[in-house]
């Protein structure tokens, strides 16, 4: 017999942080907050990035949070209200100041392995310290999340606390597909806001695919002219620059993906000669993957990638390599003859294509590929990131790691699997899976992180934000926070701790109040505006 009680299924916490900090002590004593009597002071290094972050979070704290009181025409910090809740003995006075100590000069652009650690002490004069501007940004997000309203919505409080925090994984990403459905610039920026709230640091922009080519190239304008869904559904150089800058000031890298040789049908609307003609019963039935034996294919790739890498400053470029329709290559008489003359299989042909493509990238480029490229035996530099996304992922990760490469994990974090909810995503921990499989920690350092993947067959501007959040928040906590006891793989579904359900309820409401339309996390409940 199931007993249902009225009220939220999981009552939300108050002033608790998502993702959960590595080390945190929270006391029952608290301070009250009045925005007119609060200031932020930078005491050491300063730079435009830090100033921008302080201004952004000052707005969040003073307007987004305290604005909820002003709408009720209530003055923050009334002694009468504090006495009415019976907690006056815990009240430590007003929160007056946040001192920010950046102990080293600012860096300009976020990168893999950047220092995101910080120390935060909440008191009348609170202190936030970090050796990097990226750590200060993460600490400011934590500080902003610690404010909460009293039950009667008459007072803003923040509890005394000490935090020493840092990420467990270096690469904490979200893949967004903007080809299957065009995603507006406004929703991309909103996605970056949500990523910042969840301390994610890589926006993997799967910008083009078979269905459309919305990247508006200056070297090859015909690609989007003929490949985009509509002339209004493109990303210009100015759009891309705006996304990169919006991400940069939030400590988020933008990693573009231009998948080759497969997933390129939209390229062929403008340049059909770079694709392979597919045959059936001696007749051409359509175009398939890039033609790997034509020089014109590599010429276009080289020139397009030169432009892409000039526009995107990140050292990492994802070149795909997955799901190549090899039957099309087998069907093509020209390619069959080439394979016969050179004693190659179609797998060899795939490997040859990738070997020819990687040297076309700019010097010092770090390559990211889907796991098929590794599986086909393509020689890869040790610093290549291999993104594991298929089934049997534990064995695959072990193979990649034992070969000396680094792993990005995504297999259990596909957000387009409509039945998967956040608790299932929360259970998967790639390092713990590999440790359980090998009985050793020797390979774990080369699992640099992972990504939640939002493929866009079934999402567009109308539902993409609510489909991603808060499910991607589960991945964000798994990649940031300390290892969960008992977490493992897809088949060892240790549920999240009960407290995580309650923290996520608060976080969903927090995201909604800050403009991110996250869907309900775990069942019946409510959010106040």
| 307 labelled catalytic | no
203, 236, 262, 441, 458 from 211: Cα distances, Å: 21, 18, 12, 42, 13
Q: How is 345-367 classified by DSSP, letter by letter? A: -HHHHHHHHHHHHGGGSPTTPEE
Is the Cβ–Cβ distance between 394 and 433 less than 8 Å?
yes
Helix, strand, coil tally for the chain in percent (to 5):
35, 20, 40
18, 114, 168, 491, 495 from 427: Cα distances, Å: 16, 26, 15, 9, 7
- For the record, the structure tokens of 344 come out as 């190659």
Closest listed residue to residue 325, CA positions, set 288, 380, 378, 271: 288
Query: How many residues belong to the chain?
Result: 529
Is the Cβ–Cβ distance between 145 and 132 less than 8 Å?
no
Q: Which residues fall within 8 angstroms of residue 67, CB to CB, at 6 or more apart? A: none
288 phi and psi angles, rounded to 5 deg = -120, -140
Closest listed residue to residue 443, CA positions, set 474, 398, 485: 398
Is the Cβ–Cβ distance between 22 and 482 less than 8 Å?
yes
Q: What is the dihedral of CA 192, 193, 194, 196, to 10 degrees?
A: 80
Which residue in the block uniquely carries the two structure tokens 């990687």?
358
- Our separate counts of H helices and E strands in the chain read 18, 18
The single residue of 71, 238, 323, 402 carrying the catalytic annotation is 323
> Annotated catalytic sites, by residue?
323
């Amino acid at each position: 017999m199931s007993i249902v009680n009225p009220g939220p299924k999981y009552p939300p916490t108050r002033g608790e942080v998502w993702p959960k900090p590595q080390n945190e002590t929270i006391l029952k004593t608290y301070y009250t907050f009045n925005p007119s009597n609060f200031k932020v002071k930078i005491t050491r290094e300063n730079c435009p990035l830090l100033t921008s972050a302080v201004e952004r979070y000052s707005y969040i704290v003073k307007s987004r949070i305290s604005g909820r009181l002003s709408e009720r025409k209530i003055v923050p910090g009334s002694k009468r209200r504090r006495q009415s809740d019976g907690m006056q003995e815990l009240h430590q006075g007003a929160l007056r100041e946040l001192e920010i100590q950046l102990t080293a000069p600012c860096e300009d652009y976020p990168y893999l392995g950047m220092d995101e650690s910080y120390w935060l002490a909440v008191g009348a004069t609170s202190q936030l310290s970090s050796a990097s501007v990226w750590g200060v940004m993460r600490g400011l997000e934590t500080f902003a999340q610690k404010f909460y309203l009293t039950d009667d919505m008459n007072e803003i409080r923040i509890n005394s606390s000490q935090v020493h925090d840092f990420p467990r994984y270096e690469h904490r990403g979200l893949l967004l597909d903007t080809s299957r459905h065009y995603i507006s610039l406004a929703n991309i920026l909103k996605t970056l806001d949500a990523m910042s709230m969840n301390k994610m640091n890589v926006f993997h922009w799967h910008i083009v695919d078979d269905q459309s080519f919305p990247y508006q190239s200056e070297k090859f304008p015909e690609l989007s002219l003929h490949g985009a869904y509509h002339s209004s559904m493109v990303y210009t150089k100015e759009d891309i620059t705006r996304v990169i800058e919006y991400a940069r000031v939030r400590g988020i890298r933008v990693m573009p993906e231009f998948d080759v040789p497969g997933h390129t049908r939209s390229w062929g609307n403008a340049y059909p000669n770079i694709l392979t003609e597919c045959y059936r019963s001696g007749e051409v039935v359509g175009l398939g993957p890039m033609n790997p034996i034509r020089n014109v294919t590599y010429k276009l790739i080289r020139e397009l990638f030169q432009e892409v890498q000039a526009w995107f400053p990140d050292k990492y470029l994802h070149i795909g390599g997955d799901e190549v329709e090899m039957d099309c290559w087998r069907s093509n008489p020209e390619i069959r003859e080439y394979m016969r003359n050179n004693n190659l299989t179609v797998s060899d042909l795939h490997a040859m294509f990738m070997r020819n493509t990687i040297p076309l990238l700019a010097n010092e480029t770090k390559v990211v590929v889907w796991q098929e490229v590794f599986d086909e035996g393509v020689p890869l530099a040790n610093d290549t990131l291999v993104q594991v996304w298929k089934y049997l992922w534990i064995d695959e990760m072990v193979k990649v790691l034992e070969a000396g490469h680094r792993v990005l994990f995504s297999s259990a974090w596909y957000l387009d699997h409509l039945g998967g909810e956040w608790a299932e995503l929360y259970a998967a921990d790639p390092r713990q899976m590999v440790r359980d499989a090998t009985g050793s920690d020797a390979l774990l350092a080369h699992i640099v992180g992972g990504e939640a993947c939002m493929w866009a067959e079934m999402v567009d501007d109308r539902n993409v934000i609510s489909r991603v959040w808060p499910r991607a928040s589960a991945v964000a906590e798994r990649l940031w926070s300390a290892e969960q006891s008992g977490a493992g793989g897809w088949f060892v579904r240790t549920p999240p701790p009960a407290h995580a359900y309650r923290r996520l309820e608060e976080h969903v409401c927090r995201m909604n109040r800050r403009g991110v339309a996250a869907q309900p996390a775990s069942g019946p409940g409510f959010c106040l505006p």
